[in-house]
Structure 1
Amino acid sequence: MARDTPLTTDRDTTGSQPRAHLQGQSPGQSTTGVATSTLPADPGAAHVARNSTMPQPVPSEVANRCKARKLEVERVTHWEDLVHQSSCWDELAGAAIEPNVFYSSFAVLAAMRHLTPPGEPEFLIVRGIDSGAPTDATVWCGFFPFMRFPRYQSIPANTLRFLKHDYCFLCAPLIRKDCAKETLRALTDWLDNARLSILEWTDQPGDGRYAELLTEYFHARGNQPWLSGSHVRALLLSASNADTYIRTNLSGGRIKELRRLERRLTDLGEVQYICVADPRSLATWIDEFLQLEHAGWKGVGQTAIASKAAHQLFFLEFAQEAARRGHLRILALLLDGRPIAIKCNVLAGPGSFAFKITYAEEFAKYSPGQLLEIDNIRRVHAETGIEWMDSCADPIHPMIDTLWGQRRTIRTWVSPVGRWGRFVVAALPLLRWLKRSVRPAQAIAENSL
């Protein structure tokens, strides 16, 4: 076995279940992709089965209707009114210029039902309407889940801010790629007639076609927005193959160390890496994830998902609905059938989002989270149609930043609407400077007393 070959996994794609775990399940409840080692094996054998879970291309008749139809903006202030419109919503999510699982129907409805985010809902739906066609023949061209506030920070100003909560890591609206400019133009027309001063574009992608579209939108409005925040976080962009990616982003010493840790783990028992994709099995693994996370430091600090009933209910609904649609992947590292690291990924179009990861702290010295992440890198490269994965991690993350080589920029823009909005946005840089200047002066004064 070549010593300089990066860590890899020997996968079985027959859907067999780990023998020592979940023994009470029926034969139909299979897991997808079982690996017994992260040592070198045939990468060509690594493939996760998938049953048409990738969003299909927009039908030509839908795209053509986008160009020809009249676009109208519908304002929805009661989120319950959208419960029965998930088919149009999901179709738009699969055709969006910027994939965003956190604004999919199941994610937004679960958040509104269980997390009660701050602000009053003011969801804007841009619909394409054909003259003389029935209402149910319309297609969604844009979905902008805003929340309304009477103030921006401490300033009286009617504000729309994108829906944001503890488990929403991207706030890019869903905009149909075939009529993106027309959709934003319809939004502009609506804003010009709304009682509004500030529009905050929270946590928007700073790279790619959507970011270019947003820049064009700001220029077209003629009102210079203010960049109130910007940071970068880890991004995984698929390379030609997993070996190339690992060699490029990990040093030879790091690969050798991870191989050593895996060997030490195998001294304790049988090691397996699995990927669960079957909706019939995922319910059990969702519970396993919650239990493992709550058993660690997050449970002690009351920051685990299961520490708060509302957060647990959100996660259960979000994960179960993602699983039902074929968008959820749960990866696990097992030791003698016991999960010692679990990772939850959610697919969205050509990309995916690393939602959460947890591990058993008693095995921390073996770095089970990092070993599982190496398996994740291989599975991302093996699964057809996945081009990238967003880490959803904090900036300067101590683990993922050392394994993933790319970064994506996340920005928050404050855009003015009307005269008062332009005045407020123009004053914001000065107000921030004054606030930062006053704090040190106050500290010096307090220390001198």
Structure 2
Amino acid sequence: MTVEIVALADAVQGVDGWDELTRSAVEPNAFLDPRFLRTCVDHWPEAREVRLALAREESGALVAVHAFTHAPVELRGLSPMAAATTGPLMDAVMPIRRPLLAAGDPERAARLLLHGLAQRRLPAFAAMVDAPRTGAAADALRRAATDLRMPRHTLSEYASPGVTRLPALPPVEQDTTPIDLVARTPHLASTTGRKLRQRYRGLEKELGAPLEIVRRDADPRAVSEFLDLEAAGWKGDSARSGHAYRVIGKEAWLQDLARAFSTTGDLSIVELRGGGVTVAIAMAVMSGGWAFALRDTYDERFARFSPGLLNRLVALHCALTRPGVDAFDPCMGRARDALQLYPDITPHETYVLASRGLVEKTALRAYSRLSRAARTRRVQAGSGR
């Protein structure tokens, strides 16, 4: 058993078994796919801060890949350094931060990984930022930490749309309309379905033409037109803190990223169009049999019809009806503007592990007890008890 800590910039030159683990992990993660991270190294100076932990069995088989940086974690006045899933690159472009764990025995893979993070040359704390609390990878990490007697303390929690599986959906054909997709989405509340249909029809009336679903996966102009549309609105205005990729100088990165996934047929670009006018565009990538939302934008002239929301429903159906894709992750982080579109809400949390050291483990256990006691007092005070 070995755990190697490697700079991301070195790892993307080639790691034996990484491609295979990306395809076969118990829960895929497109943001740990080498195709994604190679383009980050090429275009984001912040990638220099990222390290990968690579866990291998004695046979040499790669069973875990985990990305992290060295960053302080805030513990009420204290800021110890941690091997943390945060940092400028991760916060900017990696909404999913769970490790890749081998499907055969994910708990063993998690134990190897956490044991590696306890190495002396790493911080004594590990922080998992915005990590899903449920799922096979989360369960394996929780059990592994317990087996290794690593204290754990949750710093914050939130809920976000989770991985969506909708089996047996009809394919999205050339003549399929967005309103057809509302009827095909079984989990939508009746009020949500009615509002979506109203917005679709209102948008069609505004455009003077029916809405079309256009698949542009293989169109070499699609990414440039996406970038143009994104920059045309407030995101393209630096005076309004716009963060369009053209504004922050990352248009070449998105182009290279799209090429990396399109070469293997793992890029999805879906456009909502009416009367020759592009209303919204959504991009997604495929990795390990799952689809992951990457970026979307819309024409702000039609903002009152919520075109971004409307196209997310289209993107959901287009992803889940692709051959070989059985799940879709909307990758929304803390955003809550489209909760009604997805059937499952997943709890997420930021938590800290004390991976080694008697002093560190004792301190985290004491901090966790004090935090629980303080929370209990606040609840009791709020209820008037």
Decide: shared fold, TM above 0.5. yes
Distance 1:237 1:258 in 2: 25
AA aligned to 2:84 is R
Deviation digits for residues 318-372 of structure 1, max 9, x if unmatched? 2221222322100001233332210011222232222211111112234332332
Q: Distance in 2 between matches of 1:287 and 1:425?
A: 49
What does residue 228 of structure 1 align with?
155
- What's the counterpart of residue 18 of structure 1? none
Match of 1:197 in 2: 124
Are positions 1:335 and 2:271 aligned together? Answer: no
Label 1:147 to 1:386 Cα distance change in 2 as closer, same or farther (>3 A).
same
Superposed CA offset, 1:230-283 (max 9, x none) = 21112333155364525643435324413422541452x4642111222xx2x4
1:384 to 323, 331, 355: 323
The RMSD of aligned alpha carbons is: 2.9
SS in 2 for 1:320: helix
Deviation at 1:407?
A: 1.2
Partner secondary structure for residue 93 of structure 1: helix
**Given that residues 39 and 257 in structure 2 are in contact (C-alpha distance below 8 angstroms), is that contact kept between their aligned partners in structure 1?**
yes
Say whether the 8 Å CA contact 1:106–1:321 is kept in structure 2. yes
CA distance in 2, matches of 1:419, 1:128: 28
Q: Paired residue for 1:216?
A: 143
What TM-score, normalized to structure 1? Answer: 0.70
Q: Retained in 1: the 8 A contact 2:215–2:269?
A: yes
**Equivalent residues in 2 for 1:246-265 (5 A)?**
246=186, 248-251=188-191, 253-265=194-206
Give the counterpart of 2:225 among 265, 272, 288.
288
User: What is aligned with 2:106?
Assistant: 180
Kindly tell me: are residues 250 and 191 of structure 1, through their superposed partners in 2, closer, same or farther at Cα, counting changes over 3 Å?
same
Large movers: runs of 4+ above 4 Å: 427-434
Alignment partner for residue 306 of structure 1, among 246, 250, 261?
246
Contact 1:172 1:203 in 2 (8 A): no
TM-superposition CA deviations, 1:418-445 (whole Å, max 9, x none): 12322442355558999xxxxxxxxxxx
Q: How does 1:434-449 map to 2 (within 5 A)?
A: none
Shift of 1:159: 1.9
Quickly say closer, same or farther: Cα 1:184–1:240, change in 2 above 3 A: same
Aligned partners of 1:377 and 1:189: how far apart in 2? 38
Structure 1 unpaired stretches of 5+: 1-70, 131-137, 435-449
What secondary structure does 1:117 align onto?
helix
Alignment of 1:400-419 (within 5 A): 400-416=338-354, 417-419=356-358
Query: Do 1:343 and 1:358's aligned partners in 2 also have CA atoms closer than 8 Å?
Result: yes
Q: After superposition, give the CA deviation of every residue in 1:149-183 in whole Å (9 maximum; x if it has no partner).
A: 4x444746442112523111011111111132332
Give 3-state SS (helix, strand or coil) of 1:305's partner.
coil
Matched, 1:124 2:53: yes
Contact 1:234 1:401 in 2 (8 A): yes
User: Residue 177 of structure 1 aligns to which amino acid in structure 2?
Assistant: A
The answer for the alignment partner of 2:9 in structure 1 is: 80
Q: Is 1:169 matched up with 2:95? A: yes
Aligned length: 350
Aligned partner of residue 235 in structure 2, secondary structure: helix
Q: Distance between the aligned counterparts of 1:354 and 1:86, measured in 2?
A: 26
Structure 1 residues 306 and 87: alpha-carbon distance in aligned structure 2, compared to 1, 3 A threshold: farther
Deviation at 1:218, TM superposition (A): 1.7
Runs of 5+ in structure 2 lacking a partner? 170-180, 375-385
Once residues 366 and 128 of structure 1 are traced to their aligned partners in structure 2, the CA distance between those partners, rounded to angstroms, is 53
Distance in 2, matches of 1:314 and 1:262, equals 32
Q: 1:238 and 2:166 equivalent?
A: yes
Match of 2:178 in 1: none
Correspondence for 2:176? none
Pair 1:79–1:370, CA change in 2 (3 A): closer
Which residue is 2:297 aligned to? 358
SS in 1 for 2:104: helix
| Inter-CA distance 253–395: structure 2 relative to 1 (3 Å threshold) | same
Q: 1:425 to 1:319 in 2, by over 3 A?
A: farther
Change (3 A) 1:292 1:192: closer
Does the Cα contact within 8 Å between 1:203 and 1:410 map onto a contact in 2? yes
Distance of aligned partners of 1:109 and 1:250 in 2 relative to their CA distance in 1, 3 Å threshold: farther
- The 1:396–1:316 alpha-carbon spacing in structure 2 relative to 1, beyond 3 Å, is closer
1:114 is the counterpart of 2:51: no
